[in-house]
Each structure stands twice: as C-alpha cells, then as structure tokens.
Amino acid sequence: MKNNYRSMLKGTVIFGGSQVFTIIIGLIRAKLVAIFLGPAGVGISSLLTSTVAMLQQFSSFGVNLSAVKNIAQAKEEKTSLTTLVFNYRLLLVLLGSLGASISVLFADYLSFYTFGNHDYTVAFRLLGIYIFFTTLSGGELSILQGKRELKKVAVSSVIGSVIGLILGVPFYYFWGIKGIVPAMVVMAICNYLANRLLSTSDYKLSIIKLERSTFVSSSKEMMTLGIVLMISTLLGTVATYLLNAYISRQGGLVDVGFFQSANSLTNQYTGIVFTSMAIDYFPKLAAKADSVIDINRLVNEQLEIAILLIAPIVALFLVFSTLIVNLLLTKEFLVVVPVLNLMAFGVFVKAISYPLGYISFAKGDKKLFFWLEGVFANVLQLSLNILFYSYFGLLGLGFSFILIFCIYFIVLFIVVKKRYSFQIKKEVIRILLSFFFLIGAVFLVNFITYFPLKALLFSLLLPVLLYFSITELDKRIKVLSLIKSKIFKKNG
C-alpha cells in the first residue's frame, strides 16, 4: 500500500519540482507582462490565447489523450511503437495544418467576434503558426506521457518556459501590445522543438512506408475516443471564450485582465498537483479500468494525496495573497486580492473533484464523459460565472468559482457512485472534513480588518494545518523517516 502512495507522490515530486521552477519563470514573465502591457494588454493577450486555444483544440480532435492510452498500451504489450508514433506524427501534421488554415481563412470573423472590430485580423492570421506548432508540441508531449517518462516531461516544461521567457518577453519590452502575437508564435515553436528533441531520443527521424489503410484505421481508432474528448474540451474553451467576451463587452478589457490574472496566479500555484495527477494518475487508472476494487483503491489513494498536498498550498496562498500580488504583479492588480482568496478556497473543492472526474474517461464511457464533463460542467460554469459577474462584478466570479465546484462535486459523486459503485473511504472523509474546516477558518480570517488579530490567527492556524498535513503524509509514506535517512546518508 505504501508503495502505491510513494509512486503517486514520486510522480508529483518529479513533475512538481520542475513545475516549481516553471512557476518561478512564469511569475517573472507575468510580472514583466503586467509592467509592459498593463491590465488592457493582459486582457488582449487572454482573448487571443483563448480564441486560438479553441481553434487548436478543435483541429487536434482530442487525439492527444487517446494517443497517450494507445502508446501506453503498446508499451505494456511490447508492441512496436515506431509505426504507431510515425502514424501519430503524420496525423498531427494534417490536423495542425487544418487548425492553421481555419485561423488564416476566418481571421476577419475571429477578430470581429472576439474584439468587436477588424483590428486583429492580421494577428489571427499569424497565429495560425502558433496553432500548428502547438498541435505538434502537444503530440510530442503525449508520446513522452504515454511512455510514462515523467523526467523528460518535466525537462520539457522547464526548457520550453525558459526559452519562452528569454525570447518572448523582449517582444513585450520593445513593441508592447504589438509584441503579443510574435511572442506567442516564438514560444509555441520553442516548446515544440524542446518536446521533439526529447522524444526523438528513442524515435529517430526515419521515414516509414505506411499503407493508406493502416494510417486510416490507426487514425480512426485514436480519433474515435479523441473526438469525444475534443468536443468536451472545446466546450470548455468556448465557455472561457464566451465568458471573456462577455466580461470584455460589459466591463472592458481591464476587467478581463484582472480576472485572467487572478485565474492565472491560482492555477500556477495549484497546477503542480493537478498537472502531476493528469500525467501520472490517469495512465494508472486506465490500466485498472475494468476492476471496481482497483478503481476504488486508486481513486481513494489519489484523493488522500491530492488533499494533503493541495491544502497547505491553498492555506499559504490565502495568507500571503496580498504579498503575492504586490511581488508578482503591480499595485494596479491589488483589486483582485479578494477574488484570489475566493478562487483559492474553490481550488480546494476542485481538488476533491479532480480524481473522480477521470473515472469515466479511463473506463472509456464516452457518453457519460461527454454529458457530464463536456455539457453539464461547462454550462454550469458559464451560466453561473455570467450570472454572478452581472450582479457582483469581479468579486462575483470568485463566489461562482466556489459554487461551481461544490455543485460539480456533488453531482459527480452521485453519478460515479451509482454507475461504478464508487465509495469514498471513511479515512478520506475524515481527512477531507478536517482540512475543509481548517481551510475555511483561514479563509474567514481574511475578512478581519484588525491586522494584529488577523496576524495572530494566521500564526496559529497555519502551523496546525501544515503539521496535520505532514503527519498524515508520514502515516502513508513515512516521509519524515525518508527525509532523515537522506540527510544522514549525505552526512555519512
């Protein structure tokens, strides 16, 4: 049992370590972007990014995750991967070209419906390059992920972020808002090159004679499951796009910039846990998808690890949110601190939903995944975000973030319980409730205006929460003993 916990934590540590470095680079970049572009520039960047992300996800047909499953199975069954990888890369070239063509051909319409004018037509045409290389880059990452080469995935993220910073930020400095699109294109190319160089260590640049029937059948297999995922993901991107467009029309580009900055900061700090889960946890779950016992065990173990890791991050974020904004953005962005606090609390609820959300996809339950993750989750998110923003402004987006994940978790748990006989262990419920009240207490302290009392309560609650998290981890993987052994080994 301890080996299972250690395996999960190992995946988080390997990728989490690189993510910490990537986050630092990302924060430096965010600080520079905030200085060079300002809130309006951040808003423009967010609208461009969300629009081309929607096109890229549509053009990729969701083959990335389905390819991960195929590559993992081919490796497990010791099937030849060379043909599969060559076929996959060829398919991605075709799909990336499709996405780039759509961006070029419909650039005028994209500019008008995104910004209400035709000023960004040339920008969307140039972003066709971004779409093409982002599609290819995602494919190379899927190859590494399917082989479960976590270290290479980690190295890829580090190299891509560093090169993106070095080559991307100068565009903002010299050209301001006009440098947004060139920076996006450069970073997409750099990320692709990093991923490609890492994945070609095993798969050389060779041309394979591929029969047309083989290519069609292999592509069809990947795209069948991928299309369901693509539509679900595309609905999420459309929801983000519509929300950004609505905020832009109602509150202006500045509000879009404020909201996306809060969202970005929240995701950067907590993304370590969620991204590691996607890379390491999903392949394991897919391999055991036919066993109810194994599914229950894996999901409960992942729930425990997710809660124990995310709770301290959220607590630290709640305590130092004002300092974080001051350091990483500018004083103009201090208005988003209350939104950040609300979103941070919502992330804790998201963490207990995340492991359950993978079950239907791992089991290949296309219909349930589509209706639950694609339709229900995104309609809920878009409708509540628009409703709360309309009545409460930016602060309303923070409240809606919490409510969305509370409703989502309740519905998701009921569905997986009835459909897959999933049960949450009593031990997990105990941990969940304990941390829920501790995080809730830290969250409520933020509303105290008398600083000495606020600081006193923070200094009492934070050590208790951190101690509880460490001791619970130690019960499962003997983390304290492991650290001591490493220290004494080095000293010896």
Rounded to whole angstroms, the Cα distance separating 451 from 449 reads 6
User: What are the pLDDT digits (tens) for 248-271?
Assistant: 888 888 888 888 888 878 876 676
Q: How confident is the model at residue 132 (pLDDT cuts 50, 70, 90)?
A: very high
* pLDDT value at residue 403: 94
Report yes or no: 268 and 23 within 8 Å, Cβ to Cβ. Answer: yes
**Nearest one of 310, 315, 342 to 461, comparing CA atoms:** 315
Coil vs helix vs strand at 80: coil
User: Which residues, 6+ apart, have CB-to-CB distance to 434 below 8 Å?
Assistant: 468
Rounded to whole angstroms, the Cα distance separating 219 from 28 reads 40
Cβ-defined contacts of 246-251 (< 8 Å, 24+): 246/386, 246/389, 247/389, 248/43, 248/47, 248/115, 249/116, 250/389, 250/390, 251/389, 251/393, 251/394
Coil vs helix vs strand at 449: coil
What mean pLDDT value characterizes the chain? 80
Question: What is the model's pTM?
Answer: 0.70
* pLDDT value at residue 2: 52
Q: How confident is the model at residue 344 (pLDDT cuts 50, 70, 90)?
A: confident
User: Which residues, 6+ apart, have CB-to-CB distance to 370 below 8 Å?
Assistant: 228, 231, 232
Q: How far is CA 373 from the centre of its chain?
A: 15
Rounded to whole angstroms, the Cα distance separating 211 from 218 reads 11
User: What are the pLDDT digits (tens) for 192-250?
Assistant: 888 888 877 554 545 555 566 666 766 666 777 677 777 777 788 788 888 888 888 88
The half-sphere exposure of 88 on its side-chain side, counting CA atoms within 13 A, is 31
* pLDDT value at residue 7: 59
Q: How confident is the model at residue 51 (pLDDT cuts 50, 70, 90)?
A: confident
**CA 197, 165, 345, 259 torsion-angle sign:** negative
Tokens of 469: 């998290």
Rounded to whole angstroms, the Cα distance separating 293 from 146 reads 24
Report yes or no: 186 and 167 within 8 Å, Cβ to Cβ. Answer: yes
User: What are the pLDDT digits (tens) for 171-191?
Assistant: 888 888 888 888 889 888 888
The residue extents of the domains of the chain are 2-485
Judged against a pLDDT cut of 80, whether residue 278 lies above it is answered with no
